[in-house]
């Protein structure tokens, strides 16, 4: 018997007042994969992510982790679940008055009981894992480049040794070289740390180079959730416009070039 999906969403309905964002949305994430959530502006990608994280309460439907409905988790189980994931928000959401090291230590102070010296040691390890130089630890976010801020936020998302990583537009605002380097880092971390990665992205290069599957949101639901080679053959008009346009074709050529 095959294992259940790591995360499964069934019949999700989310709405704000009379505005319905999702209606009957089904979605799943398999353990160990890098999965991208894509869709047009306003399709509800971030709403789906926030619903999975428990930041939004659905109007209907259920979200399962390891086959168990989240609504049935006891408070201590809910807390343990939240410790299993790390989140990188679109703009980093770093605390501007704290150094990089202090930002990485913030989840540790909230969830763990250990000495400050040990937290600093662990924070510096996460900073190194995010491919930042040691001297970045003492800097404020305002003293970092855009790419370095992304890496600092990534280091913080790794603070509690998660097995699930949620990324919201991780390469947004980065130049092509920095975005490519960040993609490589995510792929290496997912393999080395055996992470399951769920990301929202518009970056076609990211999709073709590091993602195992893509989930497309349109018409208030997930209309396709498949490997990229299969997804690009889907006849749905939005999918064809997205992957078959000039940028999509260029990204595909780049990913398959020798």
pLDDT tens per residue across span 24-42: 999 999 999 999 999 998 8
pLDDT at 95: 85
Q: Compute CA distances 228 → 37, 49, 102, 211, whole Å.
A: 12, 20, 39, 8
On average, the pLDDT of the chain sits at: 89
Domains identified in the chain, total number: 2
Domain holding 190: CATH number? 3.40.50.300
Structural domain ending residue among the three candidates 142, 162, 182:
162
pLDDT band at 188 (very low <50, low <70, confident <90, very high): very high
The structure tokens 């971030």 sit at 46
DSSP-based three-state secondary structure for 35: strand
User: How many CB atoms are closer than 10 A to CB 125?
Assistant: 14
Tokens of 25: 């949305």
H/E segment holding residue 182: helix 176-192
pLDDT band at 175 (very low <50, low <70, confident <90, very high): confident
Query: What phi and psi, each to the nearest 5 degrees, are found at residue 246?
Result: -55, -40
Query: What is the C-alpha separation between 210 and 186, in angstroms, rounded?
Result: 8
pTM higher than 0.95, yes or no? Answer: no
Same domain, 146 and 203: no
Structural domain ending residue among the three candidates 120, 137, 162:
162
Same domain, 48 and 137: no
Same domain, 152 and 176: no
Same domain, 237 and 208: yes
């Amino acid at each position: 018997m095959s294992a259940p999906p790591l995360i499964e969403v069934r019949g999700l309905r989310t709405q704000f007042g009379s505005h319905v964002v999702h209606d009957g949305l089904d979605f799943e994430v398999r353990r160990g994969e890098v999965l991208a959530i894509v869709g047009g502006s306003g399709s509800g990608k971030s709403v789906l992510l926030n619903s999975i994280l428990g930041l939004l309460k659905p109007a209907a439907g259920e979200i399962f982790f390891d086959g168990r409905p989240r609504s049935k988790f006891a408070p201590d189980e809910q807390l343990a679940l939240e410790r299993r994931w790390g989140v990188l928000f679109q703009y980093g959401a770093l605390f501007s008055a704290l150094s990089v090291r202090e930002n990485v230590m913030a989840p540790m102070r909230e969830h763990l009981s250990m000495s400050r010296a040990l937290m600093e040691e662990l924070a510096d390890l996460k900073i190194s894992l995010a491919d930042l130089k040691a001297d970045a630890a003492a800097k404020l976010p305002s003293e970092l480049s855009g790419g370095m801020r992304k890496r600092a936020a990534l280091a913080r998302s790794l603070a509690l040794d998660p097995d699930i990583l949620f990324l919201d537009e991780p390469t947004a605002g980065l130049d092509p070289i920095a975005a490519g380097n960040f993609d490589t880092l995510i792929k290496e971390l997912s393999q080395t740390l055996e992470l399951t990665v769920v990301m929202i992205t518009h970056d076609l290069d990211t999709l073709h180079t590091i993602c195992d599957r893509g989930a497309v949101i349109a018409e208030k639901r997930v209309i396709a959730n498949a490997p990229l080679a299969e997804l690009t053959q889907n006849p749905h008009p939005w999918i064809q416009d997205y992957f078959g346009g000039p940028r999509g074709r260029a990204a595909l050529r780049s990913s398959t070039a020798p």
